Amino acid sequence: MFKEAIRLAKPNIELSAEKATAMLYTLADKFLDRAELDEIKEVMRMTRLGQMLQDEAIESTQTESIKNLMKNMNWTIDQAMNALEISEDKREKYRQSITPNN
């Protein structure tokens, strides 16, 4: 039931569909067993919400890694981003989030 509901909501890009999909994920997490959640996880990987969550997690990890390299290795933000091979198109976003005064 949850899997079918998510599949139906997935193609719709309206905000209300995104909210409904998020609610379905929450309910699935609360009421489904591990095997059923694994099925939902596969469906979720194909959704915009799933991609957004994954991108957010990657950004958070990258931000923490940059901060740790700056602190522990006494590197500049550019040295840390070079070491992590952060692409040029994402560097300004990290600069703003790590050094908001610049």
> Which pLDDT score is estimated for 62?
96
Q: Which tens digit of pLDDT belongs to each residue from 19-56?
A: 777 777 788 778 888 888 888 777 766 667 777 888 88
User: Do 9 and 40 fall into the same domain?
Assistant: yes
User: Do 84 and 60 fall into the same domain?
Assistant: yes
User: Do 41 and 58 fall into the same domain?
Assistant: no
User: Do 69 and 36 fall into the same domain?
Assistant: no
> Which pLDDT score is estimated for 86?
95
Mean pLDDT of the chain: 81
Q: Do the beta carbons of residue 97 and residue 63 sit within 8 Å? A: yes
Q: Do the beta carbons of residue 14 and residue 29 sit within 8 Å? A: no
Residue of 60, 57, 53 lying closest to 98 (CA atoms): 60
Whole-number Å distance between alpha carbons of 73 and 98? 16
Is a pLDDT exceeding 60 seen at residue 70?
yes
User: Do 13 and 37 fall into the same domain?
Assistant: yes
Whole-number Å distance between alpha carbons of 98 and 67? 7
Q: What angle do CA 33, 23, 43 make, to 5 degrees?
A: 60
Which of 16 and 61 is assigned the larger pLDDT? 61
User: Do 63 and 41 fall into the same domain?
Assistant: no
User: Do 24 and 60 fall into the same domain?
Assistant: no
The boundaries of the domain holding residue 80 are 54-98
> Which pLDDT score is estimated for 16?
66
User: Do 6 and 40 fall into the same domain?
Assistant: yes
Q: Indicate the number of domains in the chain.
A: 2
pTM of the model: 0.56
